[in-house]
Amino acid sequence: MNRIDKKLEEEGKLLSIYFTAGYPNLNDTKDIIIRLQESGVDMIEIGLPFSDPLADGPTIQDSSTIAIKNGMNTNILFDQLKGIRDEVSIPLIIMGYFNPMLQYGVEAFCKKCNEIGIDGLIIPDLPIDYYEENYKALFEENKLYNMFLIAPQTSDKRIRKIDSISNGFIYMVSSSSITGSKDSFSSEQINYFERIEKMNLDTPRIIGFGVGNKETFDAAVGYSKGAIIGSAFIKNLHESGVSSIDSFIKSIR
């Protein structure tokens, strides 16, 4: 069974953390992953930095820019993750845009993920129909889950389609805007959460975008299996460094 499924079957609500590989320093990647696991995080999304991250807010964009300047690229990330499964047992997901994966070679990328022990991918700009036609079999061959995103403007028909093809979880984007943490959710966002809840989807949902403190985490997990924190975590890395990871996670839970 995929580690993501095992984690989703556990009781309680899940906390997933996103960070940009190679940030704040090139060789912090493995240390951050290990510290996150030690702090009790349930899943980790490793961001593959890209020069044009259109869906990301300024915090994640800046971290990607710095990571690239630090020298991070796909080959270095894979080198950094060699042997990670000797020390880390929780699900690891690579989140990134399709262009770097295409440049690396999608088949080679998937095989490398399988070899290292990556459990799944989140690729915001890979259309579901294109994935289904060209890459679904390749992902399955390499035991990789592909998590799709839905947002407030996503039609019910498309949501049903995503639900029918999904494994792992559906990444439920909390708003139509770019990433970035906020202090609370609006009434419109709560209405959206309630609308999706009433659809009784088969696939578990994890809410991301706009989750950045205990209040928003608690609100999000009231309508889903878990929540993803990215921008707030990266801000904390910038302000307080890698050594502050445990205290940041404790402030959320």
Handedness of CA 149, 152, 154, 155 (dihedral sign): positive
Inter-CA distances, 27 with 23, 48, 80, Å: 8, 14, 8
Q: Per residue in 161-173, pLDDT tens? A: 999 999 999 999 9
The pLDDT value given to residue 35: 98
List of long-range contacts for 59-62, beta carbons under 8 Å, 24+ apart: 59/179, 59/180, 59/181, 59/231, 59/234, 59/235, 60/18, 60/20, 60/179, 60/230, 60/231, 60/234
pLDDT digits (tens, 9 = 90+) for 33-51: 999 999 999 999 999 998 7
Cα–Cα distance between 165 and 207 in angstroms, integer? 19
Q: Report the distance separating Cα 44 and Cα 28, nearest Å.
A: 14
Q: Which of 10, 11, 52, 56 is catalytic?
A: 56
**pLDDT tens digits, residue range 67-100?**
999 999 999 999 999 999 999 999 999 999 999 9
Residue 108's pLDDT is what? 98
Tens-binned pLDDT, residue by residue, of the chain (253 aa):
899 999 999 999 999 999 999 999 999 999 999 999 999 999 999 999 987 656 567 889 899 999 999 999 999 999 999 999 999 999 999 999 999 999 999 999 999 999 999 999 999 999 999 999 999 999 999 999 999 999 999 999 999 999 999 999 999 999 765 454 457 789 999 999 999 999 999 999 999 998 999 999 999 999 999 999 999 999 999 999 999 999 999 999 8
Domains of the chain: 3-252 (3.20.20.70)
Q: How far apart, in whole angstroms, are the C-alpha atoms of residue 23 and residue 25?
A: 5
Selection from 173, 202, 167 nearest residue 189 by Cα:
173
| Residue tagged active-site, from 45, 79, 129, 246 | 45
Rg of the chain in Å (alpha carbons): 17
Task: Give the per-residue pLDDT at 182.
Answer: 59
- Residue 178, classed as helix, strand or coil, is coil
Q: Both tokens of residue 2?
A: 């995929």
Answer yes or no: 56 catalytic. yes
Give the C-alpha separation, 9 to 251, whole Å.
Answer: 25
